[in-house]
Copies of this chain bind each other. A is one copy, B any other.
Amino acid sequence: MTVYTDYLWFKTKNRREIVRITDEVAAIVGKSGVTEGMALVSAMHITAGVYVNDWESGLIEDLQEWAERLAPARPDYRHHQTGEDNADAHLKRTLLGHQVVLPITKGALDLGPWEQVFYAEFDGRRRKRVIVKVMGQ
């Protein structure tokens, strides 16, 4: 049994940004030597998410607009009484999810034809991490 850990670092230019990370995760899986198992990909900051969906720019904008509609940026969140201004980012990452578990089969990520892995930043412009934990044989 092998357990292999690595981290991806992000510092996005914009406060909100969607970054495709499928290749980076696949590279870590390759380095791990695991051919049958699972990879956990999980945002370590609570204003960012990780999700699997389509690599199509229109849909990525639809997802961002949708998150804004359901979890809008607003001044009047209670969380902002602490001096923060990012309560919507905490809610948006809850909506999109903050982690995925990816299957590994025959030495590669076992993804469907259109599955791509994304990092969803909702309060960026500072260094943040995603853990990739690979487990299997």
| A contact set with B: CB distance below 8 Å | 1, 3, 5, 36-38, 40, 42-46, 51-54, 56-59, 61-63, 66, 70-71, 77-82, 87, 90-91, 93-101, 103, 105, 110-115, 129, 131, 133, 135-137
Cβ–Cβ contact A112 & B44, under 8 A:
yes
* SS class, residues of chain A in contact with chain B: mixed
Cβ–Cβ contact B3 & A36, under 8 A:
yes
Cβ–Cβ contact B103 & A100, under 8 A:
no
Chain B contacts for A94, CB-based, 8 A = 51, 53, 63, 95-97
Q: How many angstroms between the C-alpha atoms of A79 and B79 in the bound complex?
A: 34
Residue in contact with A135 in the complex, picked from B45, B56, B110, B136, CB distance below 8 Å:
B136
Chain B contacts for A79, CB-based, 8 A = 54, 56, 58-59, 62
Using A52-B46, A56-B79, A137-B3 as known contacts, say yes or no to A63 and B36 having CB atoms under 8 A apart.
no
Nearest residue, chain B, Cβ from A70: B70
Residue in contact with A58 in the complex, picked from B37, B44, B80, B95, CB distance below 8 Å:
B80
Q: How many angstroms between the C-alpha atoms of A1 and B36 in the bound complex?
A: 11
Nearest residue, chain B, Cβ from A106: B5
Cβ–Cβ contact A62 & B38, under 8 A:
no
